């Protein structure tokens, strides 16, 4: 073993899961170090690092693929709570910004209408130094622990301010009275959010996002964009300047690609937001003029009129190379208050080199975006 070899962070998990991983790796001959442990009460550490030598990384990843220990650990933790019936939950990841508070407003309103609780989740990530050698790992751990502690204290103070603000809004009648709780976790935000959605199975994830004025390059690495891609439950992205009230939802745009799964997504949308008797406009992006496209859209409209009485349905066809301009014009003309996009999980390179409609609309529109996995 080269004691001077640099360490890398393999994973950030709970203390119990980290201990399982460390044991498995060491049984396979890979030394591992656990860091960011609460030295007083290690079992309640919200997020600890498992670090290994850089040269061991390929072998360690093979081991994780062979033994999906974290999926099992999460399942055991969830199963241990099966005796207690789980209430419906709305998950709201927060970063204490104003557009994050706007997400809380929407999320509380939605939760009230569905008799659900609200769960606030804040994550922070302490950047690790890759240049630390194996013998220096424990020396560095004390310094890293100080950083972790200060970040956690700052996050708790911010969360207490947010909770106080939310409670004041509830007392004034500005927010509906719903039961809410929170948790602060250290880790990579999109991974932590995905883990919680799998465990808690919220009926909706509500996230804030910056509005139309943000730079397109800001979207790269955006937590909201990553969650839109990976989530297995509906995600509602709320721009910072949104004035939408879900209880008064009137005009909706639904992007379709004529797939059978779109009908499932329409049904999921109606079940989530059916309390508002909205008008829904199907939007299809066409590469070239094709009369069959209009026949298909008319068929979808007639199907929905027959299955969802009390709602209005319409459709438009836009040219794919001009769709951003045409979509913005449609949104202004019809005062679209929400856009709905059925989202298929995409591969990494497809997402990098051919951004999905959801990504483009997340950047180009100041309208709430609902992604429904299909």
The pLDDT of residue 25 is 84
| 3-class state of residue 6 by DSSP | strand
The pLDDT of residue 108 is 96
| 3-class state of residue 347 by DSSP | coil
Per the domain annotation, does 268 fall within a domain?
no
Beta strands (DSSP E) in the chain are: 7-13, 32-35, 48-53, 89-93, 117-124, 180-186, 204-209, 235-239, 251-255, 279-286, 312-319, 338-343, 369-373
* Rounded (to 5) percent helix, strand, coil in the chain: 50, 20, 30
Q: Which residues constitute the domain of residue 35?
A: 1-84
The pLDDT of residue 105 is 92
Per the domain annotation, does 253 fall within a domain?
no
The pLDDT of residue 57 is 81
- Centre a 10 Å sphere on the Cβ of residue 177 and count the other Cβ atoms it contains: 11
Helix residue ranges, H only, 189-275: 189-200, 223-230, 260-273
* pLDDT by residue, tens only, the chain of 374 residues: 445 567 777 777 777 677 778 888 888 888 888 876 544 444 444 467 788 887 788 788 777 766 554 444 444 444 444 444 567 999 999 988 888 898 999 999 999 999 999 999 998 877 654 444 445 554 545 555 666 778 888 888 999 999 999 999 999 999 999 999 999 888 888 888 988 888 889 999 999 886 444 544 444 347 887 888 778 899 999 887 777 777 788 999 999 888 778 888 999 999 999 887 889 999 998 877 778 888 999 999 999 999 999 899 999 998 877 878 888 899 999 999 999 988 766 544 444 445 566 666 766 667 888 999 87
The pLDDT of residue 141 is 54
CA 29 to chain centre: 36
- Which structure tokens are listed for 116? 């659900």
Distance CA 245, CA 243 (A): 7
Looking at the structure of the chain, the number of domains it has is 1
Chain length of the chain: 374
DSSP 129-154: PTT-BGGGHHHHHHHHHHHHHHHHHH
Where does residue 248 fall: left (phi above 0), alpha (psi -120 to 50 degrees), or beta otherwise? alpha
Please, which residues have CB within 8 angstroms of residue 176's CB and are 6 or more apart in sequence?
Answer: 108, 109, 111, 112, 170
282 in Cβ contact with 298 (< 8 Å): no
pTM confidence score: 0.71
Distance CA 326, CA 318 (A): 7
| 3-class state of residue 10 by DSSP | strand
Per the domain annotation, does 150 fall within a domain?
no
The pLDDT of residue 66 is 65
Per the domain annotation, does 71 fall within a domain?
yes
The CATH number linked to 23 is 3.30.70
First vs last C-alpha separation in the chain:
47
Per the domain annotation, does 118 fall within a domain?
no
Cα 126 to Cα 9, 33, 34, 271, distances in angstroms: 11, 16, 15, 40
Per the domain annotation, does 96 fall within a domain?
no
Distance CA 180, CA 88 (A): 12
The pLDDT of residue 343 is 77
DSSP 315-334: EEEEEGGGHHHHHHHHHHHH
Per the domain annotation, does 129 fall within a domain?
no
**Beta-bridge partners for 370:** 236, 340
Residue 249: closest CA among 290, 278, 229: 278
227 in Cβ contact with 190 (< 8 Å): yes
Per the domain annotation, does 213 fall within a domain?
no
Distance CA 187, CA 122 (A): 10
| 3-class state of residue 267 by DSSP | helix
């Amino acid at each position: 073993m080269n004691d001077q070899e640099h360490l890398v962070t393999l994973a950030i998990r709970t203390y119990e899961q980290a201990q399982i991983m460390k044991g498995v790796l060491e049984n396979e001959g890979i030394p591992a170090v656990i860091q960011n442990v609460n030295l007083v009460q290690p079992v309640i550490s919200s997020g600890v690092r498992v670090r290994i030598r850089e040269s061991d990384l390929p072998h360690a990843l093979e081991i994780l693929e062979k033994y999906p220990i974290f999926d099992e650990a999460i399942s055991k933790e969830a199963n241990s709570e099966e005796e207690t019936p789980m209430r419906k939950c709305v998950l709201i990841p927060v970063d204490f910004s104003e557009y994050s508070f706007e997400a809380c407003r929407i999320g509380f309103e939605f939760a009230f209408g569905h008799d659900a609780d609200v769960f606030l989740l804040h994550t922070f990530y302490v950047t690790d130094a890759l240049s630390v050698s194996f013998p220096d790992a424990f020396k560095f751990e004390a310094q890293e622990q100080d950083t972790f502690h200060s970040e956690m204290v700052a996050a708790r103070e911010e969360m207490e301010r947010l909770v106080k603000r939310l409670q004041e809004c509830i007392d004034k009648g500005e927010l509906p009275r719903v039961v809410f709780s929170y948790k602060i976790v250290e880790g990579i935000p999109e991974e932590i959010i995905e883990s919680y959605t799998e465990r808690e199975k919220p009926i909706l994830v509500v996230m804030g996002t910056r509005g139309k004025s943000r730079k397109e390059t800001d979207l790269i690495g955006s937590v909201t964009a990553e969650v839109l891609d990976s989530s297995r439950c509906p995600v509602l992205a709320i721009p910072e300047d949104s004035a939408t009230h879900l209880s008064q939802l009137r005009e909706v745009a639904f992007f379709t690609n004529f797939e059978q799964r779109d009908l499932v997504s329409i049904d999921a949308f109606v079940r989530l937001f059916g309390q508002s008797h909205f008008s829904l406009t199907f939007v299809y992006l066409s590469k070239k003029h094709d009369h069959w496209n209009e026949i298909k859209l008319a068929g979808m409209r007639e199907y929905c009129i027959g299955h969802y009485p009390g709602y209005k349905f319409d459709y438009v066809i836009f040219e794919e190379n001009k769709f951003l301009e045409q979509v913005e014009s449609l949104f202004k003309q019809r005062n679209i208050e929400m856009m709905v996009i059925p989202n298929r999980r995409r591969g990494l390179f497809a997402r990098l080199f051919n951004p999905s409609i959801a990504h483009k609309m997340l950047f180009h529109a100041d309208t709430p975006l609902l992604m429904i996995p299909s």
